[in-house]
Structure 1
Amino acid sequence: MNPPEPPPTHELSTNGVGPWPGEWPTGDQWDPELLTHGDSRNVVDRYRYWRMEAIVADLDTRRHPFHVAIENWQHDLNIGSIVRTANAFAADAVHIVGRKRWNKRGAMVTDRYQHVLHHPDVETFLAWAREHALPIVAIDNVPGSVAIETYRLPERCVLLFGQEGPGLSEAALAAADVVVEITQFGSTRSINASAAAAIAMHSWIRQHASLESSPGA
């Protein structure tokens, strides 16, 4: 006999759900503590009451083949937000280039579900990318960059982002296979780093992702 479907909808479960009503479902993915006390985590309804390890394992079966890399020289507060967006778009992994410690506040604990790797410098990161045959697509509005709106992103690639303010380092720009920019129409020279990362990742999604693979589809 199949277990009952969980009752909440996306609208009802925005702030979490209470203890599981009625007979518990069976399966290794379910967390007895969450079934008993409720689940207040910021997860989609598909993963309500699931163990964290089970969520990661399920995500691993359908992550997208793009990676996200972020230079971390100044303890940028945007890094956490970029990790959160990478998780939302099911990026394969996030790479921190530079300082190993980064501000996790903006990640809203999504780093627990997202593979995060560290590279001490650009050279080490470049070697990793070459070993895995992944072209590096840098995002920065510098002379010679290509408009992302007209560029066909590789299906397998690394999207590389710089720090808020200075942007990508010279070493990172030199390591990139291509540099693309987000076209702007106002007076500001640049947009927020986490916003730029979200736009770039969504550009990849629009070009390559199947909407039917979304757990909310």
Structure 2
Amino acid sequence: MPTPLDIDGLANVRELGGLERGDGSRTPTGAFIRAETLDRVSDAGWDRLRAHGVRAVIDLRRPEETSGEVPADIFRQQIDLDGDERDFWASRESDGQWGTPLYYADHLAELPHRLAGVLDAIAQAPDGAVLFHCGAGWDRTGLVAAVLLKAVGATEDAAAGDYLASFDNAPAMVDLHARSFDVEERLAVLARFGHSPESAFRAMWRGLDLDEWLRAHLDAHTVEMVTTWRGTVGPAPGLSSVDR
């Protein structure tokens, strides 16, 4: 199961370390942390994040969603993972897929430059742990987490457990942030497409040929940084480091 972190002002925050890899090892801790909006993180919360090694924050939200402040000693970069390509988003917003893993594969195929920009930013971030987040820490954050976990050879069960933790955290998120995170709506959308949250995630995971995607859209340095989690672990068998 994912490792939750006790950070004042966050309810959907967790380590990507400690998850099972296909070779029986575990993903390294202190490399990547995922979270929701940082607006409510207290000074004590930032101290805890620093103590955990966080030196960089990647904000995945759209420019108009920008809110809150990151302490001056922590590097921050905003990379719009969604993008403004209305031809892509209009139908997915109208049928609700935007809040589920149902759009992940299409996003990777049709808007590859969006995720490539995020991974380039992660590769170039200062030494230390990288925290990446969106508004809910659910699906934009979930897409990046899934790719990072696939890149380092995490098992399907481990990656699915990480994705599903957001559903478990939803009640605490509602209490902390005083707004709905649309759990019932997400479940209804998935059901209309014949899925549960778990089956939707697993179907996406099984269809993701990450090696091919990396070859097509990242340069050799970023591939190395992604597949070794910024030099903290050896690359998973079967993933290549090649020039674009």
Radius of gyration: which is bigger? Answer: 1
Higher RCO (C-alpha under 8 Å, 6+ residues apart) = 2
Structure with higher strand content = 1
